[in-house]
Chain A
Amino acid sequence: MKPAIRAILIWAVLGGAIAVPMAVAMTSPLLAWRDPIYIGAGVAGVVALALILVQPLLAGGYLPGLPLRRGRHVHRWTGSLLVAAVVAHVAGLWLTSPPDVIDALLFTSPTPFSAWGVVAMWALFAAALLAGLRWPLRIRPRFWRLGHSALVAVVVLGSVAHAMLVEGTMGTASKAVLCVLALMATAKALIDLRAWVLVRRLRS
């Protein structure tokens, strides 16, 4: 396949995988019975799930036009965006129904998906914190690689379980496709980068 066609295909699949569930969520009948803050909280959750698919693609340098070095650069920015999206998601839900969010954060919620979401959230914060402190604290490459990889694996698994169990605004089919792609992209990136190898051998 010609590189140009391949590039267009990859971007088109990624765009579709994100745009379709987003469109379904934005046209959900449930929105008619939600106030703007609750709607915003839901959208922030969908954006976060979309970014969870984008992150491993950037980290692995799989996106045409964004090879490893440039991909990693964008990965840091989208990572910050992902943290912001999750904060907006939780904050919006908190404003909508404080006791439900407190239950979730304390792991006393009646809904099983809450715990998955909260575990994924803390793992995400830890992964981002590790990335932010990597250079200031001169964290050793072997610890950084293993730590960040293990944490993001928890983020992806927790988020997928969270999203699939929620009866929300996203369509089941488009949500499932987005989740499967996120799992596949994460697995490919971790395998390709040999995330479990303690010494960093990759030069980009």
Chain B
Amino acid sequence: MIPHPITRRRLLVAGAATAGAALVTGGSGLFAPARAQGVAPTPTMRGGSNNYRPGAPIVDRIGGGGFWMTGRVRRAGDGAPLQGVRIQIWAHTTEGHERDPHSHGATLTGADGVFRLEMPQIVPAFGQPHGHLAYDGDGEPFQTVFLRPVMPRASDTTLHADFVLQPA
């Protein structure tokens, strides 16, 4: 049996583990008051509603696909996932401008609140590669939210955006 002297590496690993544990416990203490207030609703983003088309149909896929828009919809407060929520998605893609009807499509969230819609590749337009998502609260139980997430790189083939909806 080889003895285990305290080497520099061993000391660093042990130190990092202790620091990590301290961060985790300290962190949870810090965030406890926020959790008590509940999950905050997602605010509408600037320019999010631009070229929105109310009532865009629910589709299996927008155009030829190849790019995935994903996200999760939850309820403000308790953060419960919301099923059957209609989310409209549109963007300037390889197949059309934002204003084109065929650039738009809607999908419904599953039991876990997750939505996933395949669409053509988003390309930079108006200076940024970005997508648009809408939850239209018209006649619905939650308030309207428009999102406009920006892709970190124009070459990305997925974009993710989460909704936390506020009861109307």
CB distance from A74 to the nearest CB of B (A): 32
Q: Is B109's CB within 8 Å of the partner chain A?
A: no
* CB contact under 8 A between A99 and B97, given known A30-B123, A167-B127, A168-B127: no
Q: Is B75's CB within 8 Å of the partner chain A?
A: no
Task: Give the interface size bracket for B toward A.
Answer: 20 to 34
Indicate if the CB atoms of A97 and B127 lie closer than 8 Å: no
Indicate if the CB atoms of A110 and B46 lie closer than 8 Å: yes
When distances are taken between beta carbons in the complex, the residues of chain A under 8 Å from B126 are 93, 97, 100, 111
Indicate if the CB atoms of A103 and B47 lie closer than 8 Å: yes
Indicate if the CB atoms of A166 and B127 lie closer than 8 Å: yes
Indicate if the CB atoms of B46 and A99 lie closer than 8 Å: no
CB distance from B99 to the nearest CB of A (A): 6
Indicate if the CB atoms of A97 and B154 lie closer than 8 Å: no
Per the 8 Å Cβ criterion, residues 8-50 of A in contact with B are 30, 32-35, 38
Closest B residue to A167 by CB, please name it.
B124
When distances are taken between beta carbons in the complex, the residues of chain A under 8 Å from B148 are 110
Closest A residue to B52 by CB, please name it.
A99
When distances are taken between beta carbons in the complex, the residues of chain B under 8 Å from A168 are 124, 127
Q: Is A108's CB within 8 Å of the partner chain B?
A: yes
When distances are taken between beta carbons in the complex, the residues of chain A under 8 Å from B127 are 111, 113-114, 165-168
Consensus secondary structure, chain A interface: helix
Indicate if the CB atoms of A103 and B50 lie closer than 8 Å: yes
Indicate if the CB atoms of A108 and B46 lie closer than 8 Å: yes
When distances are taken between beta carbons in the complex, the residues of chain B under 8 Å from A113 are 127
Indicate if the CB atoms of A38 and B123 lie closer than 8 Å: no
Complex-state Cα separation, A38 to B126, whole angstroms: 10
Partner of A97, one of B51, B93, B124: B51
Q: Is A109's CB within 8 Å of the partner chain B?
A: yes
Complex-state Cα separation, A192 to B91, whole angstroms: 48
When distances are taken between beta carbons in the complex, the residues of chain B under 8 Å from A165 are 127
Q: Specify which of B46, B49, B98, B127 lies most central, judged by the most chain A CB atoms within 10 Å of its CB.
A: B127
Q: Specify which of A35, A166, A167 lies most central, judged by the most chain B CB atoms within 10 Å of its CB.
A: A167
Indicate if the CB atoms of B92 and A33 lie closer than 8 Å: yes
CB distance from B126 to the nearest CB of A (A): 5
Chain A interface residues (CB < 8 Å from chain B): 30, 32-35, 38, 93, 96-97, 99-100, 103, 108-111, 113-114, 165-168
25 contacting pairs across A/B (C-beta < 8 A): A30-B124, A33-B123, A34-B125, A38-B97, A93-B126, A96-B97, A97-B99, A99-B51, A100-B47, A100-B51, A103-B47, A103-B50, A108-B47, A109-B46, A109-B47, A110-B46, A110-B148, A111-B126, A111-B127, A111-B128, A113-B127, A165-B127, A167-B154, A168-B124, A168-B127
Given contacts A97-B99, A110-B148, 5 further A-B contacts (CB under 8 A): A100-B47, A110-B47, A110-B48, A167-B124, A167-B154
